[in-house]
Amino acid sequence: MKRILVTGALGQIGSELVLKLRRIYGENNVVASSRSKKDTANKEVMESGPFELVDVLNSQQIIEATKKHNVDTVIHLASILSAVGEEKPHLLWDINMNGLYNVLEVAREKNHGVFIPSSIAAFGPSTPMDLTPQDTIQRPTTIYGVSKVAGELLCDYYYERFGVDTRGVRFPGLISYEALPGGGTTDYAVHIYYEALKTKEFICNIKEGTKMDMMYMPDALDCIVNLMEADSTKLKHRNAFNVTAMSFGPEDVYAEIKKHVPEFEIKYDVDPVKQKIAESWPNSLDDSAAREEWGWTPKYNLETMTVDMLEKLKEKLGNNK
Ligand code: VAH
C-alpha cells in the first residue's frame, strides 16, 4: 500500500484515518474523497493533502480519481450506517452495495488493493451471542447487516475469482473525539462522553445491560493499516475478520466516566428501533483469527479510553476544568 484513495473521507473513521495515513505514507500519497464538501469538514483533512469529489455511485469519478493520483489501494468507507439504514433501506442498498460494486470493478480493472469495513452488524439473533466465532451463522435482521454480509461475500468473490486483494474487518462500535458518528446504533457511546462534560446528564437511548463490542478510534485506525500491510500469505480469512477491544453496556461506560465526573447522571429513554438492532448483535466477539493471522491487538480498554476521551474532549470543548 503506497498511494491510497479514501472514500467517505469526511466521516467518523475517514477524517482521522486520512491524517494518520498522511503521516505514514506522505501527504501527497493519500487522497481524501467525499460525495460533497461538508462545510463542517475537518479543515486539516481538506488542506493537508489532495481532495477529490467522488460519488461512489459514479464509476467514472472513481476511475478519474484513482488514475489522476496513481492510486494502488482504495480504503472504501463511504457507507450508510445501521439506524439511518432502517429509515432509508433503499438508499442504503444503493450506496452500500452499488457503491461497493463500483469500487471493486475499478479495483479489478486497475489491480488495486481494497479495504472494506464490515461490522458486528453482519451477525444476527441466531448467531452465538457470546464470544461470537470468526466463522458462524450470519443472518442479520437489518438492511445494514444484510449489506455487510453481502459485501463480505462479494469481496471474497472478487479475491477468489479475479485476484483482487480485498481485506476487511467486522468493526464494533467506534468511539472517537474528532468527527461525530453518523447515524449508527452505537452512537450513544460517543455522545455520552460529550454530555458528561457539557450538561453532566445523559439520556441514553439504549437499555441498561445491553452489551455491545466497542473500540477506541486509535485502535481502529491501527487495525486498518496493520491488516493492509499484513503478509498476504498468512491470511486464511479476508472478508471479514472479527476485531474487538472491549464489550460494555451503557451502565459500564457511565460508571467509568462517573469516576472522573462525580456529578454525572444517566437517565434512559430507549429508542425501540435502535434497541431492537442492538439486541440482534453479539454481546462479545472472538477475535482470535485476527490475532493469529496478522497480529491484531488493541491498546485501549474502557478505563484507558475514558481517560483519553475526557482529556481530549475537554481540550476540544474548551472545558479545561
Ligand atoms: C452502527 N457504528 O452503529 C455502526 C457500527 C457496529 C456498529 O457498524 O451502525
- Partners of 157 in beta bridges: none
Rounded Cα distance between 214 and 207, Å, is 16
Written as one letter, the residue type at 28 is: N
Residue 93 is predicted with a pLDDT of: 98
User: How far, in Å, CA of 5 to CA of 1, rounded?
Assistant: 11
Question: What pLDDT shows up at residue 41?
Answer: 67
More confident residue, 318 or 319: 318
**What's the rounded mean pLDDT across residues 312-320?**
84
Cell matching residue 116: 472494506
> Which entry of 144, 158, 159, 177 is annotated as an active-site residue?
144
| Dihedral Cα 291, 293, 294, 295, nearest 10 deg | 30
With CA atoms as reference, report the closest residue to 84 among 92, 74, 93, 73: 92
| pLDDT tens digits, 134-165 | 999 999 999 999 999 999 999 999 999 999 99
Query: Which pLDDT tens digit goes with each residue over 3-31?
Result: 999 999 999 999 999 999 999 999 999 99
Q: What is the dihedral of CA 167, 224, 7, 86, to 10 degrees?
A: 80
Predicted confidence band of residue 318 (pLDDT cuts 50, 70, 90): confident
User: Would you call 144 a catalytic residue per the annotation?
Assistant: yes
Sign of CA dihedral 261, 267, 313, 307: positive
> How far is the C-alpha of 52 from the C-alpha of 64, rounded, in Å?
10
How confident is the model over 26-79, as pLDDT tens digits? 999 999 999 998 766 688 999 999 999 999 999 999 999 999 999 999 999 999
Ordered by where they begin, the domains of the chain are 4-172+217-242 (3.40.50.720), 173-214+246-283+300-317 (3.90.25)
d(CA 128, CA 76): 29
Residue of 171, 185, 206, 213 to mutate, ligand 1, most atoms within 8 A of C-beta: 185
Note the pTM of the prediction, 2 decimals: 0.95
Q: What is the pLDDT of residue 229?
A: 97
- Pairwise CA distance, residues 192 & 174, whole Å: 13
SS3 26: coil
Which residues surround ligand 1 with Cβ inside 6 Å?
A: 81-82, 119-121, 144, 171-173, 181, 184-186
pLDDT tens sequence across 186-208 = 999 999 999 999 999 999 999 99
With 0-12 / 13-18 / 19 or more C-beta atoms within 10 angstroms meaning exposed / middle / buried, residue 233 is exposed
Residue nearest to atom 4 of ligand 1 (CA): 184
Q: State in Å: Cα 45 to ligand 1 middle.
A: 23
The 10s digit of each residue's pLDDT in 211-265 is 999 999 999 999 999 999 999 999 999 999 999 999 999 999 999 999 999 999 9
d(CA 90, CA 100): 15
The arithmetic mean of pLDDT across residues 289-300, rounded, is 98
Look at the block and give the residue holding cell 489501494.
Answer: 73
The chain-wide mean pLDDT, for the chain, equals 96
- Are the beta carbons of 226 and 298 closer than 8 angstroms? no
pLDDT at 266: 98
Q: What does the pLDDT look like over 107-128, one tens digit per residue?
A: 999 999 999 999 999 999 999 9
CA of 16 to the centre of ligand 1 (A): 17
pLDDT over 70 (residue 290)? yes
Q: Which of 13, 79, 81 to mutate to test the pocket of ligand 1 (most atoms within 8 A of CB)?
A: 81
Cβ–Cβ < 8 Å for 79, 96 = yes
Write out the E strands in 134-234. 165-167, 169-171, 173-175, 201-204, 212-216
The three grid cell numbers given for residue 185, joined into one nine-digit string: 446504533
**pLDDT higher than 50, residue 321:** no
Query: How would you classify residue 90: left for phi > 0, otherwise alpha for psi between -120 and 50, otherwise beta?
Result: alpha
